[in-house]
Amino acid sequence: MDKILKDLSSKQGKRFSLEEEIDKLNENKIKELKERKEKEIQREIQSTNSYKILAKRNKAFKNIPKKFREKTMQNLKDEYEGAEFHKALDVFVKSVYEIDNLKKGIYLYGNAGTGKTSILSVFGQVLYDKKGKTISYLTEEDLKNEIQETFKDYSNKTDIDLVKELAKNQIVLIDELGQNCKEWFLKDLKVFLDEIVNNEHLLFVTSNYYYQPLAERYRNENSDNKLCEQVVDRLVGMTNPLEIKGGSRR
């Protein structure tokens, strides 16, 4: 009898051991499936985040001329000749390293075709990609067009909403300032500049005109001389002038 009970106990123990092994296999399988699913979820999250990051970058660079996209400061040094151009470029390169300590931006002025747009375009991209700065890059014409869009019946924002939104970015870059002199535009430009100052953000500008010729240009086309002076005074207070001499490269 003892032998029979012993055999039964032994068989029962083996059965229990087998069940435990099966349970253990099931647990391992479930764990493996969970880990696989978690990795899939992480890949999806990374893919989504990468898409969002790329979409955000494309939006920031949408107004940068295509021929200057993905270029570096070194590319400009290699591709452009002329002491004046390289002198101006060096100032912007230095500004990249000092960006967190700058109190003023730069007002880059000179004749058309001297390379001002190339410097501003690459500078903005470097600040975004290498320094993690948010940027608003647009030509004065882009700004005018975007403001005019807010005047349309279907627009869900006002002109003031627009300039305040643009001024939220840490770095504002305006190319070819001085082409539009209408009073309505100067009013919005003044609000834009005021918002940049209020946010303690930096402004970088290119123009064919130094401060005073720009003020004269504004006054010649407007009766509100006070407004013209206010706009230029803001520019003087927000930027340091940098002339790039020479003729057109085009």
pLDDT in tens, 106-121: 999 999 999 999 999 9
Same domain, 130 and 16: no
- Which CATH number is 222's domain given? 3.40.50.300
Lowest mean pLDDT among 15-29, 66-80, 146-160, 183-197: 15-29
Same domain, 77 and 122: yes
Tell me, yes or no, whether 250 lies in a domain: no
Which residue, 24, 44, 61, sits at the end of a domain?
61
Q: Which residue has the higher pLDDT, 26 or 221?
A: 221
Q: What is the pTM of this model?
A: 0.81
Which region, left, alpha or beta, applies to residue 178 given φ > 0 means left and ψ of -120 to 50 means alpha? Answer: left
- Assess whether pLDDT exceeds 60 at residue 189: yes
Q: What is the mean pLDDT of residues 63-84?
A: 94
- Assess whether pLDDT exceeds 70 at residue 125: yes
> What pLDDT does 248 receive?
67
Percentage of the chain modeled with pLDDT above 90: 73
Lowest mean pLDDT among 13-27, 98-112, 116-130, 201-215: 13-27
- Assess whether pLDDT exceeds 80 at residue 91: yes
Same domain, 18 and 78: no
Q: Whole domain around residue 20: which residue ranges?
A: 1-61
Same domain, 112 and 236: yes
pLDDT-derived band at 128 (thresholds 50, 70, 90) equals very high
Tell me, yes or no, whether 249 lies in a domain: no
> What pLDDT does 246 receive?
78
Lowest mean pLDDT among 7-11, 78-82, 187-191, 196-200: 7-11
Mean pLDDT of the chain: 89
Tell me, yes or no, whether 201 lies in a domain: yes
Q: For 13-68, how does the pLDDT look when each residue is reduced to its tens digit (9 = 90+)?
A: 555 566 666 666 677 777 776 777 777 767 766 666 777 888 999 999 999 999 99
Structural domain count of the chain: 2
> What pLDDT does 10 receive?
55
Same domain, 112 and 225: yes
